[in-house]
Amino acid sequence: MTKIAPLSGFPEWLPGQRIAELAVLDRIRATFELYGFAPLETRAVEPLDQLLRKGETSKEVYVLRRLHAADDGPADDALGLHFDLTVPFARYVLENAGKLQFPFRRYQIQRAWRGERPQEGRYREFTQADIDVVDRDTLPLHYEVEMPLVVGDALGGLPIPPIRILVNNRKLCEGYYRGLGIGDPEAALRAIDKLDKIGPAGVAALLTETAGATEAQAKACLALAEISAPDGSFVDAVRALGVTDPLLDEGLAELVRVVEAAAAHAPGLVVADLRIARGLDYYTGTVYETLMQGYERFGSVCSGGRYDNLATSGTDRFPGVGISIGVTRMLGLLFGAGALSASRPVPTCVLVALPDEDSRPECDRVAAALRQRGIPTEVAPTPAKYGKQIRFAERRGIPYVWFPDAREVKDIRSGDQVTADPGAWTPPADDLRPQLLSGS
């Protein structure tokens, strides 16, 4: 028998942490719905060959097998657990295109799994909160503008460190590399993506090696990657590098619109950062990464971008743009640092004290009357001495104890005790439900 123990990479929260997580998810969901995104869930599994279309992530996939199925390795129709929510969403859109209205805006808050080596902020099982917009054949740029604003609104209202969304544009980079005369712009992009890991000298070597860049071209690529601005001023900085290309112009114009609209909506939220590449091959326009203040070294907590060819089948083509909040990564970091918690580990606002077991029906009626008006209530488990019943509430952070015999309710923090009618008494709004707190 396996020892009962945590599994590395499969985080589980304590009830108070789960209350905090639910408060975060509720805020994210409410914001997504305010922007008109419809909810969706997809099955947890996809045919293995669908998951392996992207090649590079194949090592991360968990394959499923029924315990008593024939024991001869993955079958042709083998299923794997999805490793993100974008690939299943693209499949869902193609499968249900005839039943959906386009442009189709959906949010999806769901778990995904990757068999990676676990480390801080990286898990094998994790929850993502995604929004995407897809349209048939063409997709206007304003959706690329909208994505970071939704995320800013969703996370901005929470007691967590401020975020900064770094944006770039694939057309800008590819146009620039092309204008420079680099043979393999995609290889150049992949090299730049490694800047944080291997530094400028390493990237320069990689550019020469894999993208066929000369030393001067490599230097010019690095110069582009150094440009960053919270407004449209990055355009002049790029122009000053002296490279010209129509795709570069297109990318610059698109990125300016994203950055300027964001500056008008939420100053400081979005920064153009031309080193942002995103590893995934399928992005074709704006790309996003997000750093949380004080946790920058753990990498992006919210990423995405525009993809023109992910949901494509025969003549059906659904370009899209999406962004994905890494909820488990974010919360794992904040919980680990003692930087986020709930004000109590139970929903309960009132404990109805139990004078004796014969009074239980009467206590249940008091509880029912409070619940009827939306006040989370428990009845004490046993008719212990009142001191012990009050300690029961204290240990759980339950703020009020109701004494049905005296028809009184006590705020056990202040000691204030008042006469009360279960059909009329209402706690202050902040006490009704657990509150989300920064700190532990």
Residues composing the chain: 440
Which letter does DSSP use for residue 239 in this model?
H
115 binds a second copy, rule: CB under 8 A: yes
Contacting a second copy within 388-417 (CB under 8 A): 395-396
Does position 71 bind a second copy by CB under 8 A? yes
Q: Are 379 and 369 in contact (CB under 8 A)?
A: no
Q: Distance between CA 334 and CA 327 in Å, rounded?
A: 11
297 makes contact with a second copy (CB under 8 A): no
Does 113 bind a second copy (CB under 8 A)? Our answer is yes
Give the number of other CB atoms < 10 A from CB of residue 33.
Answer: 12
Judged by beta carbon, residue 12 or residue 419, the one nearer a second copy is: 12
Q: Is 223 in the site for a second copy (CB under 8 A)?
A: no
Q: Which span sits near a second copy by CB under 8 A: 53-61, 158-166, 333-341, 405-413?
A: 53-61
CA distance 224 to 241: 8
Question: Taking the complex as a whole, how short is the minimal distance between the CB of residue 177 and a second copy, in angstroms?
Answer: 31
> Whole-angstrom distance between the N-terminal and C-terminal Cα of the chain?
36
| Residues 321-340 interacting with a second copy (rule: CB under 8 A) | none
Among 28, 55, 56, 77, binds a second copy (CB under 8 A): 77
List the interface residues with a second copy, window 9-38 (CB under 8 A): 10-15, 18-19, 22, 33-38
Verify binding: residue 92, a second copy, rule CB under 8 A. yes
The structure tokens 């110069």 sit at 223
CA separation (Å) from 53 to 82, 87, 260? Answer: 12, 9, 36
Residues 255-284, interacting with a second copy (CB under 8 A):
261, 264-265
Residues 47 and 79 sit within 8 Å (Cβ to Cβ): yes
- State which residue, 152 or 179, has the beta carbon closest to a second copy: 152
99 binds a second copy (CB under 8 A): yes
Phi/psi at 243 (5° precision): -95, 140
Can you tell me which of 382, 385, 430, 439 binds a second copy, judged by CB under 8 A?
382
Question: What b/e sequence results for 163-190 when a residue is b if at least 16 CB atoms lie within 10 Å of its CB, and e otherwise?
Answer: bbbbbbbbbbbbbbbbbbebeebebbbb
List the one residue from 75, 201, 337, 368 that touches a second copy (CB under 8 A). 368
Decide: is 103 part of the binding site for a second copy (CB under 8 A).
yes
Site for a second copy contains 381 (CB under 8 A): yes
Cβ 412 to a second copy, closest distance in Å? Answer: 15
Using the minimum distance from each CB to a second copy, give the nearer residue, 334 or 363: 363
Smallest gap from residue 138 Cβ to a second copy (A)? 10
Interaction residues for a second copy, span 134-163 (CB under 8 A): 135, 140, 142, 153
Span of 111-119, 180-188, 213-221, 301-309 interacting with a second copy by CB under 8 A: 111-119
Determine which residue in the list 55, 73, 415, 428 makes contact with a second copy, applying CB under 8 A.
73
208: phi then psi, degrees, rounded to nearest 5: -65, -45
Q: Residue holding tokens 């962004």?
A: 323
Which of 361, 387, 428, 439 is in the footprint of a second copy by CB under 8 A? 361
3-state SS record for 369-415: HHHHCCCCEEECCCCCCHHHHHHHHHHHCCCEEEECCCCEEEECCCC
Please identify which residue in the block is written with the tokens 């544009």. Answer: 169
- CB under 8 A: which stretch of 104-112, 240-248, 289-297, 319-327 binds a second copy? 104-112
Element housing 142 (H / E): helix 142-156
Q: Within 158-187, which residues bind a second copy (CB under 8 A)?
A: none
Which of 4/424 has CB closer to a second copy?
Answer: 4
- Cβ contact 36:105 at 8 Å: yes
CA atoms within a 13 Å half-sphere pointing along the CA-CB vector of 340? 24
Cis peptide before 103 (omega within 30 of 0): yes
* Residue span binding a second copy (CB under 8 A) among the ranges 97-105, 169-177, 217-225, 403-411: 97-105
Residue 14 or 240 having the CB closest to a second copy: 14
